[in-house]
Amino acid sequence: MASEGVLIYGGGISGMVAAYNLVRKGHDVVVREREAGFGGWDIFNPSTHTTPLDLEATSEYIGIDISPAFHPVSSLSVYLHDFRLEMPVFMAYHVERSSREESLDFLLYEKCREAGVSFEFERPLEEGEIDSLPPGTIIACGLSPEAYDYLGIPYQRVYAWMARGEKEYHNYAWMWLDECINEYGYISFCNGIYFNLLFSYGQEVSREGLERYREFMLRVEGIQDENWRQFNGAVPVATGDNPRLQRKGLIMCGTMSGCFDPFMGFGISGALVAGKVAATAVNDMDKAQGEFDRFTRHFANVLRFKEEVWYPLRARVDLLEEIARILGPQRAIRIALEALKQGRKKSAIPGFSPLSCH
């Protein structure tokens, strides 16, 4: 059995999956996390998220049964302005990110502690440390722009308004498209709480845009939310070659590695499998690189499609709404379902396609 120590910066999903797998292989592992405790970036703690996932295959691949933390979506609406499409919910789940017992983070933290992983909290990655870190150190710093800057990783800024709170809706989610943003607004209800996000890449979301979203929420869904705050972070969608397993002799892990869906921004499934890949890289870089390339093989093409086709179309939500109204909800949904099936075959979402984990 191996006995070398491994250092991991970032105690989120990917960092903890990597840590657990390394300890199981006989390594001594220290996880350094910038927050005061586990559960991810404090601004998101707690939060709920909706994600596509092959739950059984992903659990098998990472060696951890994560099913207790994931809950099937009961209803998912996509709104083109106020026009509602009730979307299929196959292989879609809600999951909580937090330090609460119901969360995925709690499940992974308990697994790590039981296995013998050591945690050092309030210990962020510092720029001056980069050149002196041992080869094989794993970097899993999520959406932190500072870490991207330290390592020279190209990124887009994500600008957002967010709100969260308690709500007794069960496993419902919506997505809202409007010209005031270039991405979308969404809300996810799970475990008695909700998380609400309105975001764009590369451009700030104005207060007018937020007011437009709030008016939609009240008008169409009958929900009011006053508890909004702004934040910005980094996402690895600047270039088609963003996915990299190694940078400056260090192992990239999770979102920072580019094991991330560039089309919709889904990151949870990629974080899970990237943690296992990073752990593999410590002992067998060639094998890990092969796995990483397999998971990210569609990244460049999907990003190009988004920039060249989707964004120009996305800028005309009024046109999308008109087409959907002409087709009618049922036919529009059938077309969307076929697109989802085709997209699943060529998915840029690691862990979503059944082919991805086998």
Domain ranges of the chain: 5-301
Count other C-beta atoms under 10 Å from residue 287's C-beta.
12
- Cα–Cα nearest to 273, from 199, 354, 162, 333: 354
Q: Where does the pLDDT of residue 3 fall: very low under 50, low under 70, confident under 90, or very high at 90 and above? A: low
| Long-range contacts from 300-308, C-beta under 8 angstroms, 24+ separation | 300/240, 300/241, 301/346, 301/348, 302/261, 302/262, 302/263, 302/346, 302/348, 303/237, 303/240, 303/262, 303/263, 303/348, 304/240, 305/263, 306/262, 306/263
Residue that the structure tokens 């889904």 belong to? 266
DSSP element (H, E) containing 196: strand 193-201
Question: How many angstroms separate the CA atoms of 27 and 19, rounded?
Answer: 9
In 10 A of CB 28, how many CB atoms? 15
Under the banding of pLDDT at 50, 70 and 90, the label for residue 38 is: confident
32 has a pLDDT exceeding 90: yes
Section 335-340 average pLDDT: 70
Architecture of the domain whose range is 5-301: 3-Layer(bba) Sandwich (3.50)
Distance from the Cα of residue 341 to its chain's centroid: 21
Residue of 343 and 239 predicted with greater confidence = 239
pTM, entire model: 0.94
Whether residue 57 is predicted with pLDDT greater than 80 in this model: the reply is: yes
Q: Round to whole Å and give the CA distance between 196 and 350.
A: 24
Question: Of 241, 266, 242, nearest to 256 (Cα)?
Answer: 242
Top-confidence residue, 32 or 42? 32
pLDDT band, very low/low/confident/very high, at 4 (cuts 50, 70, 90): confident
Nearest-5° Cα angle at 278, 260 to 159: 30
Q: Could you report the per-residue pLDDT of 249-295, keeping only the tens digit for each? A: 999 999 999 999 999 999 999 999 999 999 999 999 999 999 999 99
pLDDT, residue 40, reads 76
